[in-house]
Amino acid sequence: MSEIILTDFYYGAALSVLFNNSVRKISAALIESDDTRQLYCLTTDNNECRLFIKYRTMRNETKTEDYNSWVFNLTERDKNEIQSLIEEGHNLVLALVCGVAGFSDSELALLDKEQIKRIIDLGKGSITISRKKRERAYRISIGGGRGNAMRVAFNRFEELF
């Protein structure tokens, strides 16, 4: 019998959400994998992209319960691989699996190629993403507080796939 490891739940959840929320048929092929990220080639009836998935198992402690925040570390390997994918001209989507205890309130944030390029160009070693309950967008800290944060739409499946 194969053992299921924790990463299987997060990567599997990201793929399941994509397959179940897309209006198009999606085929996926795993390109690279380790404990901190996975890279897939996704093909739909009219598009192909590289899906780079990272996950956090727990949100950050915040002062209020209506606000969730996660920090995703970007290793030099991650940044180099993302930069190479962009330079090679791939349509790139970064999926951030924002986990919470018990899995049921976990979320999936999807960043497009331009948003990813902007983060990489800032030279940051991590991505801090947050969302207030009932807010229709995530915010990614780029410096200067919440008002200056990059906005990422909450539900982007049809737009990106």
Q: Is residue 34 part of a domain?
A: yes
Bridge partners of 91, per DSSP, are none
- Asked if residue 161 lies in contact with residue 42, where contact means CB atoms within 8 angstroms, the answer is yes
Q: What CATH code is carried by the domain that includes residue 116?
A: 3.40.1350
pLDDT digits (tens, 9 = 90+) for 82-99: 999 999 999 999 999 998
What is the pTM assigned to this prediction? 0.90
Residue 153: domain span: 6-160
Rounded distance between C-alpha atoms, residue 148 and residue 116, angstroms = 17
pLDDT digits (tens, 9 = 90+) for 19-48: 888 777 889 999 998 888 999 999 988 889
The pLDDT confidence band at residue 116, using thresholds 50, 70 and 90, is very high
Q: Is residue 1 part of a domain?
A: no
Q: Is residue 33 part of a domain?
A: yes
